[in-house]
A = this chain, B = another copy of it.
């Protein structure tokens, strides 16, 4: 079984959020575990997610694993090929563009709404979020820091108190994490912190217009930080191993 294996049972750590609205029972747990594992880049794009393997790791039957994988497939984090199984999704360059275009369309108005709905309690929550991100970065836990920088955007949508848009943002954020894993070209991951602090200032001032503009330029900046030139296609397993 010399094959890329899912993470060991150490997948602990508090889940960022209850996730999507559908599954019942233990399906949700597995869904959450896989979700956070993907967001923290512990599961690389393209990895096979065997039903038996995942089930054995989490002590669950294939039935519930299947439901979890189908849920993740629906949110774009997993690709299911008929009779071949589930894989961690590998967004194409085109999809990467589309995801960030959609984010540039949706998130700035959401930030404006959030600024208008912002309370002191909300501000404290966001502040704690940034602190946690900073702490993770300082502790060298890159994956966790990246996941937190993503959920910061989700938190904004939740403050805007728009459940429908929040679900969309959450999905786009998750897919962005995969896209960054594949196409990020800058070495500096801390550049995001800067924009997030700028957003905080706009929120503290309850300046919706400023929040909208900062968010817009932040997302455009993220988009431009990707290397989305057409490149070699899918030498995932063999060439990668033989590269050195």
Contacts and interface: CB of A to CB of B under 8 A. Distances in A.
A74 B71 CA distance: 7
Contacts of A94: 163
A102 B70 contact: no
Nearest to A110: B105
Nearest to A83: B24
A99 interface: yes
B74 A20 contact: yes
A21 B95 contact: no
A107 to B, nearest CB: 11
Contacts of A21: 73-74, 76
B164 A98 contact: yes
Contacts of A67: 66-67, 70
Contacts of A172: 164
A229 B174 CA distance: 35
Contact of A70 (B70, B83, B99, B109): B70
A172 B83 CA distance: 31
B22 A101 contact: no
Contacts of A82: 24-25
Given A70-B70, A164-B99, A165-B98, A24 B80 contact: yes
Given A21-B74, A71-B70, A105 B98 contact: no
A239 to B, nearest CB: 28
Contacts of A66: 67
Contact of A164 (B24, B71, B102, B163): B102
Contacts of A105: 105-106, 109, 165
A100 to B, nearest CB: 9
A73 B27 CA distance: 14
A168 B98 CA distance: 12
13 contacts: A21-B73, A21-B76, A25-B82, A66-B67, A67-B70, A95-B164, A98-B163, A101-B162, A101-B165, A102-B168, A105-B106, A164-B172, A168-B168
Given A70-B71, A74-B74, 10 more contacts: A22-B70, A22-B73, A67-B67, A67-B70, A71-B74, A74-B75, A101-B162, A102-B168, A105-B109, A168-B168
